[in-house]
Structure 1
Amino acid sequence: MEISLSAMVMESPDKMGRLTNEEFIKMAADIGYHGICMRASLAGTQTPRENRLELKRDLDKLGLKSTMVTADFDVPLNNERGPLAMRDIGPHLDVAEDFDARLLRVCIKSWSDVKWVQRAADEALERGITLTHMAHGQSMFETVDGSIEYVKRVNRRNFALTYETTNWVWCLQDVGRETIKRIAPYLCYVYLKNTKMWDGGSKRSLRWYPGWVNLDDAVFGEPDTIDFVEILGAMEEIGYDGVVTVHQSPVGDETIEHCAQHCYDYLTEIGNFTPRAGAPA
């Protein structure tokens, strides 16, 4: 497996970047990540193409790849405009192509989106790109059963599931070994983020199911939180050899740099990751 860092680690609540592009990608390279998960906070449909290509050259110089692209702000915000990208997927595919990314994240919020997903996937297939939806609250991928059913309904070989830990935890879904075995045929990408859901949580988040939940952010490895040892072990058991991306934000007064480094150190200690060529020893 390879390990990647999401631009989410340096984003403000409105999804804007708190580091320059140069600072972020150099940090990822210096730590040892294989690549970055590209988000609009770095570059997207709103970014002039010459700027996207300049960033791609900078990534190449550092030996980093773009493991997946989220090409606008509406998709990660999971708002009502998110699904509109599939009605005009071309500009989003352009961003993915500019970064040589084979995965493009989309947003789906109803069964009526199926025909648009199919059309977008057909267009993406012509360019060798797979569309993916992550496990996410207030979407058609809020539950394990719902996610599997939607991928089956779309019925396109280049439409697949991104596993993500916290959203399914918040929706009272199992994220361990048995679930990973179930989703194995539909899996193309892995997001890891930690959380602690409990009645005394200082934050609240609204899900379609079960409604409002109380939670706290948690650093990787914190007791009584998500069991990443089991998760990475299960990924090996199903033969997953793709990318595992740190989708974590700093907790409390933690710095961006500390968060990125700690997540890398923790996951590479418990998981079987291939070292990046040229990465720091």
Structure 2
Amino acid sequence: MKLSLSVRIAEAACKTKLNIPFSEITAIAADLGYSALCMRASVAGVHSSQEELEQVRSIVDQAGLVVSMVTADLNIPQNNDQAPDALKNIEPSLHVAEVLGSRMVRICLKTEADIVHAQRAADQAAERGMQLVHQFHPACLFEEVERSVAVLKQIDRPNVGLIYEPASLLMCGQEYGEATLRQILPWLMNVYVQNLVITDDGPDHLETWCLGDRPFQLLSYWDASGRGIDFQKVVDGLQAVGYDSFFTVHQAEGIVTADDARAYAVQCKEWVDSLCS
């Protein structure tokens, strides 16, 4: 698998900007041996000028990295009612990905009516040799495994697939191990990882359509309490199905200094290496 670092680690709570310069995150990822960066609209997106996009691409190229995936629209990480609108006009998102050198664009579907827009967007993406991918995520059509597979079959496009994200599956009461990976294998295109535990006393809450309000607590990836995601099961499952694409450190940390970002990225890489050894 190819290790990717999401710019989300240093994203502000508003999800529209970074707390530290993008160039510093890029240098850290390159220095530590990451293969890629996962790009979000907090750095560059459909709102960015051509000059800004090209500047970001230059920083990535000079560091010897690639962009694993692009989330080009600020509404998509917010998972709001406007998030599916990008499907109605996918060309700007495809352009962002093309300039940044990525073949993968994250999308969002919230209603059955979004399926036809996803089909049209997929056809446009295919013309550029690009993939559209949807994360397992609460409060959208991709909460539950069976429903997600059914939607993918309805879309029926080979360049539309899934971002496997075990924490979201756990949030929605779904199994996330090898059996699930085998079920979604025809559509498996990317992997995100976060760690959390469902707990009655919060402190955070997220609304799901399938199970209602879910109080949870974020945990470090290397938490030894046994309360969160079993990441050895995750990695063993990925290896069992032959997954060899990007594995993205995706957890929001709100990091505000380059030193903290480096220390965190070091710990993450050591943790992934220990799982894969």
TM tier, smaller: over 0.9
More moved, 89-98 vs 172-181: 172-181
Percentage identity across paired residues of the two chains:
34
The alignment status of 1:259 with 2:260, answered yes or no, reads no
**How big is the shift at 1:249?**
2.1
**How big is the shift at 1:253?**
10
Q: Distance in 1 between matches of 2:247 and 2:123?
A: 26
**How big is the shift at 1:250?**
2.4
Aligned position for 2:50: 49
**How big is the shift at 1:258?**
3.0
**How big is the shift at 1:200?**
2.6
Aligned position for 1:121: 122
- TM-score normalised by the chain length of structure 2: 0.94
**How big is the shift at 1:195?**
0.6
Q: Distance in 1 between matches of 2:53 and 2:128?
A: 18
Which runs of no fewer than 5 residues in structure 1 stay unpaired? 273-281
Aligned position for 1:244: 247
Cα pair 2:104 2:130 within 8 Å, conserved: yes
1:57-136 pair list within 5 angstroms: 57-136=58-137
Cα pair 2:163 2:192 within 8 Å, conserved: yes
1:48-97 per-position Cα deviation (integer Å, ceiling 9, x unaligned): 11121121111111111000000011011110111000111111000000
Q: Distance in 1 between matches of 2:201 and 2:2?
A: 36
1:1-281 pair list within 5 angstroms: 1-15=1-15, 16-222=17-223, 223-224=225-226, 225-250=228-253, 255-271=260-276
- TM-score normalised by the chain length of structure 1: 0.93
Cα pair 1:250 1:259 within 8 Å, conserved: no
Q: Distance in 2 between matches of 1:57 and 1:253?
A: 24
Cα pair 2:87 2:118 within 8 Å, conserved: yes
Cα pair 1:219 1:251 within 8 Å, conserved: no
**How big is the shift at 1:252?**
10
Q: Distance in 2 between matches of 1:127 and 1:253?
A: 37
| Cα root mean square deviation, aligned | 1.6
Secondary structure, in 3 states, of the residue corresponding to 2:138?
A: coil
One-letter amino acid of the counterpart of residue 244, structure 2? D
Secondary structure, in 3 states, of the residue corresponding to 2:273?
A: helix
Secondary structure, in 3 states, of the residue corresponding to 2:108?
A: coil
Secondary structure, in 3 states, of the residue corresponding to 1:269?
A: helix
Cα pair 2:255 2:261 within 8 Å, conserved: no
Q: Distance in 2 between matches of 1:269 and 1:33?
A: 15
Which runs of no fewer than 5 residues in structure 2 stay unpaired? none
Secondary structure, in 3 states, of the residue corresponding to 1:114?
A: helix
Aligned length: 272
Q: Distance in 2 between matches of 1:67 and 1:119?
A: 23
Q: Distance in 2 between matches of 1:253 and 1:91?
A: 30
Q: Distance in 2 between matches of 1:3 and 1:203?
A: 28
